[in-house]
Amino acid sequence: MSAYELVDIYLTISTKQDALWALFFSVHLALFGGIIYVDRPLKRLEKFFATIAYGVFALINFYTLKNGQQIIANTLLDLQSVDCAPSHCEHLANYFKAFVDGPHVLYQTQATLLIHFFAAVLAIIAIVTDQSLRSLSGRENAKQKA
Q: Which pLDDT does position 77 carry in this prediction? A: 77
The dihedral of CA 70, 73, 75, 81: what is its sign?
negative
Q: Contact, 40 vs 113, CB < 8 A? A: no
At 88, the pLDDT band (50, 70, 90 cuts) reads low
**What are the C-alpha distances in Å from 10 to residues 72, 78, 115, 134?**
6, 11, 23, 50
At 20, the pLDDT band (50, 70, 90 cuts) reads very high
CA distance 71 to 65: 10
**pTM score of the predicted model:** 0.75
| Spans of all domains in the chain | 3-37+46-129
The overall average pLDDT reported for the chain is 80
Average pLDDT over residues 62-88: 79
**What are the C-alpha distances in Å from 60 to residues 40, 64, 67, 87?**
30, 6, 11, 42
Q: Which pLDDT does position 92 carry in this prediction? A: 65
Asked if pLDDT for residue 116 goes beyond 90, the answer is: yes
